[in-house]
Amino acid sequence: MRRITLLLLALAALTLLAAACETEEAEEADPEPDEEEPDDDVEDYDPADQPDDASVSFVTPQDGDTVETPVAIELEAEGFELMSVDNPPAVGEGHLHILAEEDCYPDGEVIPGPSDDLEDANEIWHFSDGQAEDEIDLDPGEYELCAQIGDSGHMAYGQTDTITVTVE
C-alpha cells in the first residue's frame, strides 16, 4: 500500500510540475504588459498647437512691383519648418501657398486644392514640396497676392503676407 501511495504522490507531483511549466511557457510567449506603452508612430496632432510665431512673407516680388509672367516668387518662412505635404501633419511643420485675388484663409480653415483647375484659374498655388521659391503664371493685370502657411492637410495657420503686383 505504501508503494501505491508513493507512486500516486510522485504522479501528482509530476502532473503539477508539468502544469507549472506549461503556464510559464504561455506567459513567456504572450506576456501581459504592466502598463501600456505609447505607440511612437501615432502622434496626437492638434492644429491649434501650431507655433504662434509662424509667419511667411514675400521676398520677391515686393509690394507695388510690376512683373512679367511667369512671376518669380521667393518667400521667407519663419517660426516653422518647411516640409512636403507627403509627411503627416505635425506641429511646427508646413508648406506654403500663394493666393491671387483670394482673401487669406483664417487659421483652422482648409485651403482648397491643390488642383490644376485652381492654378489655371490664377487663384491658388500650392508649394507642396516644401519649397520657398517657385514661378506662377498670371495673366496681365493687377493682382493682390497672399502668401499663406498650411499644414500637410492644407489647414491654414500662422501670419500671412499680402502684396499687390501688376503683371504686364
Q: How far is CA 65 from the centre of its chain?
A: 34
What's the confidence (pLDDT) of residue 113? 75
pLDDT digits (tens, 9 = 90+) for 65-91: 999 999 999 999 999 999 999 999 999
**66 found inside a domain:** yes
In a domain, 41, yes or no: no
In this structure, the answer to whether residues 20 and 99 fall within a common structural domain is no
Q: Same domain, yes or no, for 16 and 99?
A: no
Does residue 76 sit in the same domain as residue 149?
yes
First to last CA, the chain: 115
Residues 15 and 74 in one domain: no
Cell numbers that stand for 88 in this block: 503627416
- Separation between Cα atoms, residue 2 and residue 141, nearest integer Å: 112
Give percent above pLDDT 70 in the chain.
69
User: Is residue 36 a part of any domain in this protein?
Assistant: no
The answer to whether residues 56 and 94 belong to one domain is yes
Give the CATH number, domain containing residue 99.
2.60.40.10
What mean pLDDT comes out for the span 142-147? Answer: 98
Instruction: Give yes or no for a contact between 148 and 127, defined as CB atoms under 8 angstroms apart.
Output: no
pLDDT at residue 32, as a whole number: 53
Residues 27 and 84 in one domain: no
Same domain, 74 and 129: yes
For residues 42-46, give the mean pLDDT: 72
* Residue 23 shares a structural domain with residue 53: no
Q: Are residues 92 and 140 in the same domain?
A: yes
Domain count, the chain: 2
25: containing domain = 1-31
Flag whether the pTM goes above 0.85. no
Same domain, residue pair 83 and 132: yes
